[in-house]
Amino acid sequence: MNGIYILLTILLYFGMLLLVARLTGRHSDNDAFFRGNRRSPWYIVSFGMIGASLSGVTFVSVPGMVRGIDMTYMQTCFGFFIGYLIIAHVLLPLYYRLNLTSIYTYLGDRIGKHAYKTGASFFLLSKIIGAAARLYLVCLILQHYVFDAFHIPFAATVIGIVLLIWLYTRRSGIRTIVWTDSLQTLCLLLALGLILYEVSGQLNLDFPGLVHAIRENEHSRIFVFDDWHSKQNFFKQFFSGIFITIVMTGLDQDMMQKNLSCKNLHEAQKNMYCYGISFVPVNFLFLSLGILLLLFASQLNIPLPAAGDEILPLFAAEGHLGFAVLIFFTIGIIAAAFSSADSALTALTTSFCIDIAGISHLSGKEAERRRKLVHFCISVLFIGFILLFKAVNNKSVIDAIYTIASYTYGPLLGLFAFGLFTPMRPRDRFVPYIAIASPLLCYAIDRLVFTSTGYQFGYEMLMFNGFLTFMGLTCLSIKTKNYGNTQCRICSK
């Protein structure tokens, strides 16, 4: 019976999204799809980006993290905030000054064609893997608690969900996404608040009691300063959080596309400030929910699943917290999943059309036809990657996403850092080889160090990866004609 309620909730929610898409999709063109005609209100963009960043992975994985690593994820979240400030004052002014649609065209202007194509290609690979990992978790939960009862195969579940996302994004892209993401963020935050309220009620805790229970719990530890070998060491987590934000937001076409749909730089920066500030308390609430769920399980002697990702779904979907939480959980996880996947699909379409296919020079109708074809093909590719991720994943999904980011976003970090902070111009035709060699070398070093010393790299591998790319580009710049004759783009006005 619970499966039927979840299915009905999904259908009603999707109906709302289609209505929003219809209202915002009138008189749409490629500029509306790619940049929202530069008319998006900054506060709507900021609010919607919360849901796009959190995704279904945060909704499910972050509460489950508490059992294994306490609340130490907050150290990374503190780093996130610093990263957002850097984006607002370093990257956004550059993007607006150059009037970019795809942020990777900067690499073509600053370094060369091969660097441009390399940056866009690494984004496409990084984004489709990360987005597939996020949506995979949601599909897996829905499959287990809903569609298995109807004997529907997992592949059909994935196809159905991606098809729903394709339907409401195919016309107006980012112009629709800005508004649907805001609706979905609202649903996600309401769901989180109502689930917290219901769990607190089940534990008979008022607000002071709730604060005391969380503060005194053995899993309330946030900071780790004393263990340098731990992946949860403060300095590793904090600085990794800064660079994760820079690459997964500031160097990510998906997140920047929303910012570039704002009317001007000042509004885009206000959006980034508000968005960055809100990210810390929202994640703290998710971690607090994780502690409360562990308390509730201990109180009722409920056996917990081995995977942390399954703890919240266990309580919500199996009725331990009542019918209301079942509905809230369904709305929250679908809102989080859709808000992340729809913007990823739009950004992947934008990057491929502008950076790889080069449709900018085509006539309006032909460009729109190709954009729609690319949008559909990427949806199909999306399905393939989700099925592939299901076949190979055996760890926490949020950890998997950041691990993947350490390898695939590292070259992007190195390319942009080189372009922004040096006047050098490397031999462009060799740039792809550096970008490919860097993550491969990082993986080899990680294995060698772990075998020799027992030390295992965490998310700090992202910084090391970017550094190797940066140094490789520096080596390519030695004795070239253009060495020292180009001006640092970030300093030029």
Q: How much is the pLDDT for 50?
A: 72
Which 8-state DSSP code applies to residue 102? Answer: S
Q: Using CA atoms, how far apart are residues 123 and 121, in angstroms rounded to an integer?
A: 5
Environment class of 348 (CB within 10 Å of its CB; exposed 0-12, middle 13-18, buried 19+): buried
Structure tokens, 302:
């409920």
* The CATH number of domain 1-397 is 1.25.10.10: no
197: which residues sit within 8 A by CB, 6+ positions away? none
pLDDT at 134: 75
Is this model's pTM higher than 0.85 or not?
no
pLDDT for the residue 31:
64
Q: To the nearest 5 percent, what fractions of the chain are helix, strand and coil?
A: 80, 0, 20
346's enclosing H/E stretch is helix 323-351
- Where helices occur in 230-307 by DSSP H, the ranges are 234-245, 253-259, 265-300
Torsion of Cα atoms, 405 then 58 then 68 then 213, to 10° = 150
Determine the residue type at 321: L
Question: In a structure prediction context, what are the per-residue pLDDT tens digits for the chain, which is 493 residues long?
Answer: 466 777 787 788 778 777 877 776 665 656 666 656 666 777 777 777 776 666 666 777 788 889 888 999 999 999 999 999 999 999 999 999 988 888 999 999 999 999 999 999 998 888 887 778 778 877 887 787 778 878 889 999 899 888 888 887 776 566 677 777 777 778 778 878 888 888 888 889 888 999 999 999 999 999 988 877 777 889 888 998 898 889 888 888 877 877 887 888 998 898 888 888 888 898 899 899 999 989 988 888 888 887 777 788 777 766 677 777 777 777 777 776 676 677 778 788 888 888 888 777 777 678 888 888 888 998 999 898 888 877 775 555 556 666 777 788 889 999 999 999 999 999 999 999 999 999 999 989 988 988 888 777 776 788 889 999 999 999 998 765 554 444 444 444 4
Predicted pLDDT at 484: 46
